[in-house]
Chains A and B, each alone.
Chain A
Amino acid sequence: MAENEIMYVCKRTVVSTKPVQPGKHHPLSVLDRHMEKNHLRVVCYYKGPRGQEEAGEITKRLRESLSEVLTHFPIMTGRLIQNDKGHWMIKCNDAGVRMVEARAKGNVEDWLGSVDRGRELMLVHWEDMYYKPYFWSTFYVQVTEFEEGGLAIGLSCIHLLADPTCATMFIKAWADTTLPRKMLAPPFFDPLPPRRPGNTIPNHKPYTALIDHYNFSLHNSNPSTVAKHTTITLSFSDHMVQACMDMTQSSTATPNKPSPSPFEALAGLFWVCISKVKSLRNGLLNMSICLDARKVLGLHKAFFGNCMIYNKVHSDGLEEHKLSQAARAIGEVVAKMDSEGIMDLIEWLEQNESPISPLMNSCDLICSNLEVVDIHSSEFIEKLRPIQVSYYVESVFGIGQVLIFPAPPGEGPLGRVAMVTLPEDEVIKLCEDELLLQFSPTILMGVNRTHA
């Protein structure tokens, strides 16, 4: 049934409107190279303007504006080659990105009412790297028009080039170009800044936790392919998130501690709930968090490249099922991920590059904070904001993954959406967990049992 719902019209290559100066190369930073084995997928849903345009008109406009916006992103239209050290870099050869056009039956609201992971992924085209990556497009765009109204825009790319923040930045830039509006923030393609020599504090104690975590991951990336994962999307309203934050604070001994952020509260919640679901006897699961480090490192918001850092949260000494302690532990780790620590990590990574890139999400439960993404301000059509957004960081081989990002502005400033990827049976148990249900999350995308 799902196969008949989406009809692929064509696949083509879209190039920028201005030719790229030949001979340009863009090196990839060590953080980029670490993410080689993963890829990213983003889907944005829009309601259609009521019956004003013929089928294919919006797609044509989007294609033209995509050409225009690609002029500002020469990295996206380039291709991967290896430099003399054997590291990946981009040759800006103006080859373009692949675009797939599709049509779907029904309208977008009906689709969202019955969507699941398998069907949602059909809205985002992706091709794994070819044996010879020189002819392989690193970015894929899919535009699906719903016959009775609505639009779904899918973007996928290899994590080597972009993290969710800059993928969102690209979508925003594309939306700005489609409406006749000037693109607000042109991207920055500079490399990660090296440590400024004047900043080295004498007797500087390196924050080794980051380094240890990456070191561990490098040597222990063994993907388990046994369980089949599925993904669900849960939406938490503004006052539910507030209630969660209050609950984490309720039993703290020190009243002077600042209240946990929504991410810490929700990450703690999922940590506790998923640990319960996995029926762990002693304490909580191994978990890592992943944060965007642009602000911490003092980089411009429009920095294009990978800037998400992983760190392990230690669960020793924590009682299981204690939400407040979990949230506090996460909060401590977040506070410790400062500029110095990250710079140490980067330096260490540069010195200890292994030829095989690890899978960062292969051993722990990963909880990623995507709160910096501002996807909801991307309007492709005048005054039409996305009604729903989904993010996927594939492939998930380990215990599971939780991505937390803002809900549409209508839900309030604290509203959050969480996309949880776990083995299928555990997801079902999670949805029935008492603690989770206390915060009455709305299931935006559930598990559809009819699709294997």
Chain B
Amino acid sequence: MPPSLPDFSNSVRLKYVKLGYQYLVNHILTLTLLPIMAAIFVEVLSMGPEGMLNLWRSLQFDLVQILCCSFLIIFIATFYFMSKPRSIFLVDYACFKPPITCRVPFATFMEHSRLILKDKPKSVEFQMRILERSGLGEETCLPPAIHYIPPTPNMEAARGEAELVIFSAMDSLFEKTGLKPKDIDILIVNCSLFSPTPSLSAMVINKYKLRSNIKSFNLSGMGCSAGLISIDLARDLLQVHPNSNAVIVSTEIITPNYYQGNERAMLLPNCLFRMGGAAILLTNRRSERRRAKYRLVHVVRTHKGADDKAFRCVFEEEDKEGKVGISLSKDLMAIAGEALKSNITTIGPLVLPASEQLLFLLTLIGRKIFNPKWKPYIPDFRQAFEHFCIHAGGRAVIDELQKNLQLSAEHVEASRMTLHRFGNTSSSSLWYELSYIEAKGRMKKGDRVWQIAFGSGFKCNSAVWKCNRTIKTPINGPWADCIDRYPVHIPEVVKL
């Protein structure tokens, strides 16, 4: 017999053992309740109807007791329903589809880089190597001001880009949801690096003539995880304000942040960040619960800013020549891993099934008491979620998370393909990834989605959504014209 067969049958046996264990632990309540109910049923049967009647008469209730009991029950029920947090629904969202004339192929990017950094060939080489291994495709888009030779990143161009991205996404959202501008009660705009006065949220209010008693917020400086921070803020606000709609606009304006110096650590964002934006409609109205796409289950935020290294890991500063850029430190991946672990520790108990939690607990106890050399048990998050949206910060981030969470290629496909087609669009990349999953027809009712985003600070934020209704293809979104070409194989290194 070839040696592979025993291994195969071993692994099959192991699989069944695992399945049996999971089923046992996850349904322990049901499994313990069933025998008890069966026993009572048998007991009742054996007693017969006369025995039941006798038992009933012997209880001797009187009116006062009955009234008190019923009031107590009503009181507890009301208290329970009043203090239950309102369900937050995501009615729909719209992603900005950049115009195809803003496309930047690798060759054009490198040419511009060479023309601008004429006397710094080493920096150009560096950018080329980054681009080759970046995982980006040839259809990512940069705003028009960056296409000029030399680029003209002035404030007017930045406002122009903001208007283009935000208004397109909002128009698309209004069309998809049938929302009227007057019905928006809460508006949150997050854009990390561009923060003019009046704010971008004021710009939206001005354009769409929103109500004067709107609650508007503008979050800036919070990095790529600001999208989930906005969701968290909207959720808290929707607990306080009943029957309200909240619109969240997540974007990153690239124009003013094109680094024009030649410090290597600061050239990296130029190669990866691309134009993109998304507009999301959240509501707590019960009337929307039929047509809403998702329900928000959890938002978990973890901030590692207390640690100095984490704080300085993504830092905006001036280089030696006085040019402003965002410097990424070398231990970015390590810090991201730490932040992720912290986040997982918090989110694990909220989402993992009992079987995984038990195993984790046992391994933890074992490591502390018996043998510290035991490998830490990494809970299998695939049992908690059907879909994963990992912020497409770069190929390294996705690779790292895939390894840490032991995800398969299909789980990270949405993230990789979004990075390929749209580049790193910062806070809105999660929504492009969600749109990819929907466009592929993989989103079914009851599916749980985990969105993870990292950001400067250093933050790791997660959101958990549950799909409310099966989403039918084709959907009209940013992937409409190219979803059939995906997934593509992305080579390790693209030869430039």
B441 on the A face (CB < 8 A) = no
A335 on the B face (CB < 8 A) = no
A135 on the B face (CB < 8 A) = yes
In the bound complex, do residue B107 and residue A93 qualify as a contact, i.e. CB atoms below 8 Å apart?
A: yes
Known: A13-B111, A135-B111. A96 touches B105 (CB 8 A): yes
A85 on the B face (CB < 8 A) = no
B159 on the A face (CB < 8 A) = no
User: Roughly how many angstroms separate A64 CA and B102 CA in the complex, as a whole number?
Assistant: 10
Out of B100, B107, B112, B115, name the residue touching A94 (CB < 8 Å): B107
- On chain A, the residues within 8 Å of B139 by CB distance are 19
User: Roughly how many angstroms separate A19 CA and B138 CA in the complex, as a whole number?
Assistant: 6
**Contact pattern, B 123-152, Cβ under 8 Å of A = 1, otherwise 0:** 000000000000001110000100111001
List 23 contacting pairs A-B, 8 Å CB cutoff, sorted by A. Answer: A10-B152, A12-B144, A12-B148, A13-B111, A13-B149, A15-B103, A19-B103, A19-B105, A19-B139, A20-B105, A67-B100, A79-B107, A93-B105, A93-B107, A94-B105, A95-B105, A95-B107, A95-B108, A95-B111, A96-B107, A96-B108, A98-B149, A135-B111
A354 on the B face (CB < 8 A) = no
Known: A79-B107, A95-B107. A11 touches B149 (CB 8 A): yes
- On chain B, the residues within 8 Å of A63 by CB distance are 101
A82 on the B face (CB < 8 A) = no
Residues 13-31 (chain A) with a chain B CB within 8 angstroms: 13-15, 17, 19-20, 22
User: Roughly how many angstroms separate A14 CA and B149 CA in the complex, as a whole number?
Assistant: 11
17 further interface pairs, Cβ-Cβ under 8 Å (given A96-B108, A135-B115) = A10-B152, A11-B148, A12-B147, A12-B148, A13-B149, A14-B101, A15-B103, A15-B108, A17-B100, A17-B101, A19-B137, A22-B494, A63-B101, A94-B106, A95-B111, A96-B107, A135-B114
Sorted nearest first, the 8 A-B pairs with minimum C-beta distance are: A95-B107, A19-B138, A93-B107, A94-B105, A12-B147, A17-B100, A67-B101, A135-B111
Q: Secondary structure at chain A's binding surface: helix, strand, loop or mixed? A: mixed
B254 on the A face (CB < 8 A) = no
- On chain B, the residues within 8 Å of A64 by CB distance are 101
B104 on the A face (CB < 8 A) = yes
In the bound complex, do residue B103 and residue A13 qualify as a contact, i.e. CB atoms below 8 Å apart?
A: no
Out of A11, A13, A17, name the residue touching B108 (CB < 8 Å): A13
Out of A11, A94, A98, name the residue touching B138 (CB < 8 Å): A94
**Contact pattern, B 83-117, Cβ under 8 Å of A = 1, otherwise 0:** 00000000000000000110111111011101100
User: Roughly how many angstroms separate A96 CA and B110 CA in the complex, as a whole number?
Assistant: 12
Q: How near does chain B come to A192, taking the closest CB pair, in angstroms?
A: 27
Q: How near does chain A come to B425, taking the closest CB pair, in angstroms?
A: 19
User: Roughly how many angstroms separate A15 CA and B147 CA in the complex, as a whole number?
Assistant: 10
- On chain A, the residues within 8 Å of B137 by CB distance are 19
Residues 52-93 (chain A) with a chain B CB within 8 angstroms: 63-64, 67, 79, 93
User: Roughly how many angstroms separate A64 CA and B115 CA in the complex, as a whole number?
Assistant: 24
In the bound complex, do residue B112 and residue A13 qualify as a contact, i.e. CB atoms below 8 Å apart?
A: yes
- On chain A, the residues within 8 Å of B149 by CB distance are 11-13, 98
In the bound complex, do residue A94 and residue B108 qualify as a contact, i.e. CB atoms below 8 Å apart?
A: yes
User: Roughly how many angstroms separate A19 CA and B104 CA in the complex, as a whole number?
Assistant: 10
Q: How near does chain B come to A98, taking the closest CB pair, in angstroms?
A: 8
A67 nearest CB neighbor, chain B only: B101
- Residues of A within 8 Å of B, CB-based: how many? 20
Chain B residues with a Cβ under 8 A of chain A: 100-101, 103-108, 110-112, 114-115, 137-139, 144, 147-149, 152, 494
Q: How near does chain B come to A125, taking the closest CB pair, in angstroms?
A: 12
Q: How near does chain A come to B340, taking the closest CB pair, in angstroms?
A: 34
- On chain A, the residues within 8 Å of B110 by CB distance are 135
- On chain A, the residues within 8 Å of B107 by CB distance are 79, 93-96
User: Roughly how many angstroms separate A12 CA and B108 CA in the complex, as a whole number?
Assistant: 10
Known: A19-B139, A63-B101, A67-B100. A10 touches B108 (CB 8 A): no
In the bound complex, do residue A13 and residue B147 qualify as a contact, i.e. CB atoms below 8 Å apart?
A: yes
User: Roughly how many angstroms separate A11 CA and B112 CA in the complex, as a whole number?
Assistant: 11
Q: How near does chain B come to A89, taking the closest CB pair, in angstroms?
A: 16
Q: How near does chain B come to A442, taking the closest CB pair, in angstroms?
A: 40
- On chain B, the residues within 8 Å of A94 by CB distance are 105-108, 138
User: Roughly how many angstroms separate A15 CA and B99 CA in the complex, as a whole number?
Assistant: 12
Q: How near does chain A come to B156, taking the closest CB pair, in angstroms?
A: 13
User: Roughly how many angstroms separate A15 CA and B106 CA in the complex, as a whole number?
Assistant: 11
Known: A10-B148, A10-B152, A94-B138. A15 touches B111 (CB 8 A): no
B124 nearest CB neighbor, chain A only: A135
User: Roughly how many angstroms separate A408 CA and B114 CA in the complex, as a whole number?
Assistant: 43
Between B111, B112, B115, B152, the greatest number of chain A beta carbons within 10 A of the residue's beta carbon is seen for B111
Q: How near does chain A come to B141, taking the closest CB pair, in angstroms?
A: 11
User: Roughly how many angstroms separate A17 CA and B112 CA in the complex, as a whole number?
Assistant: 18
- On chain A, the residues within 8 Å of B101 by CB distance are 14, 17, 63-64, 67
Q: How near does chain B come to A68, taking the closest CB pair, in angstroms?
A: 9
- On chain B, the residues within 8 Å of A10 by CB distance are 148, 152
Between B107, B111, B138, the greatest number of chain A beta carbons within 10 A of the residue's beta carbon is seen for B107
User: Roughly how many angstroms separate A94 CA and B104 CA in the complex, as a whole number?
Assistant: 9
B146 nearest CB neighbor, chain A only: A12
- On chain B, the residues within 8 Å of A15 by CB distance are 103-105, 108
User: Roughly how many angstroms separate A67 CA and B110 CA in the complex, as a whole number?
Assistant: 19
User: Roughly how many angstroms separate A57 CA and B108 CA in the complex, as a whole number?
Assistant: 25
User: Roughly how many angstroms separate A98 CA and B148 CA in the complex, as a whole number?
Assistant: 10
User: Roughly how many angstroms separate A96 CA and B115 CA in the complex, as a whole number?
Assistant: 14
User: Roughly how many angstroms separate A93 CA and B115 CA in the complex, as a whole number?
Assistant: 17
- On chain A, the residues within 8 Å of B148 by CB distance are 10-12
- On chain B, the residues within 8 Å of A13 by CB distance are 108, 111-112, 147, 149
User: Roughly how many angstroms separate A98 CA and B108 CA in the complex, as a whole number?
Assistant: 10
- On chain A, the residues within 8 Å of B114 by CB distance are 135
**Contact pattern, A 181-213, Cβ under 8 Å of B = 1, otherwise 0:** 000000000000000000000000000000000
User: Roughly how many angstroms separate A79 CA and B105 CA in the complex, as a whole number?
Assistant: 13
Q: How near does chain B come to A246, taking the closest CB pair, in angstroms?
A: 53
User: Roughly how many angstroms separate A20 CA and B139 CA in the complex, as a whole number?
Assistant: 11
- On chain B, the residues within 8 Å of A14 by CB distance are 101
In the bound complex, do residue A17 and residue B103 qualify as a contact, i.e. CB atoms below 8 Å apart?
A: yes
- On chain B, the residues within 8 Å of A22 by CB distance are 494
A78 nearest CB neighbor, chain B only: B107
User: Roughly how many angstroms separate A94 CA and B139 CA in the complex, as a whole number?
Assistant: 11
- On chain A, the residues within 8 Å of B106 by CB distance are 93-94
B99 nearest CB neighbor, chain A only: A64
Residues 344-388 (chain A) with a chain B CB within 8 angstroms: none
**Contact pattern, A 113-141, Cβ under 8 Å of B = 1, otherwise 0:** 00000000000000000000001000000
- On chain B, the residues within 8 Å of A93 by CB distance are 105-107
Q: How near does chain B come to A74, taking the closest CB pair, in angstroms?
A: 12
User: Roughly how many angstroms separate A22 CA and B137 CA in the complex, as a whole number?
Assistant: 12
User: Roughly how many angstroms separate A340 CA and B309 CA in the complex, as a whole number?
Assistant: 77
Q: How near does chain A come to B140, taking the closest CB pair, in angstroms?
A: 11
User: Roughly how many angstroms separate A14 CA and B101 CA in the complex, as a whole number?
Assistant: 8
User: Roughly how many angstroms separate A328 CA and B246 CA in the complex, as a whole number?
Assistant: 84
Q: How near does chain A come to B151, taking the closest CB pair, in angstroms?
A: 9
- On chain B, the residues within 8 Å of A95 by CB distance are 105, 107-108, 111
- On chain B, the residues within 8 Å of A98 by CB distance are 149
User: Roughly how many angstroms separate A17 CA and B139 CA in the complex, as a whole number?
Assistant: 9
A18 nearest CB neighbor, chain B only: B100
User: Roughly how many angstroms separate A17 CA and B148 CA in the complex, as a whole number?
Assistant: 18
- On chain A, the residues within 8 Å of B144 by CB distance are 12
User: Roughly how many angstroms separate A20 CA and B106 CA in the complex, as a whole number?
Assistant: 11
Q: How near does chain A come to B293, taking the closest CB pair, in angstroms?
A: 31
- On chain B, the residues within 8 Å of A96 by CB distance are 105, 107-108
- On chain B, the residues within 8 Å of A20 by CB distance are 105
Q: How near does chain B come to A132, taking the closest CB pair, in angstroms?
A: 9
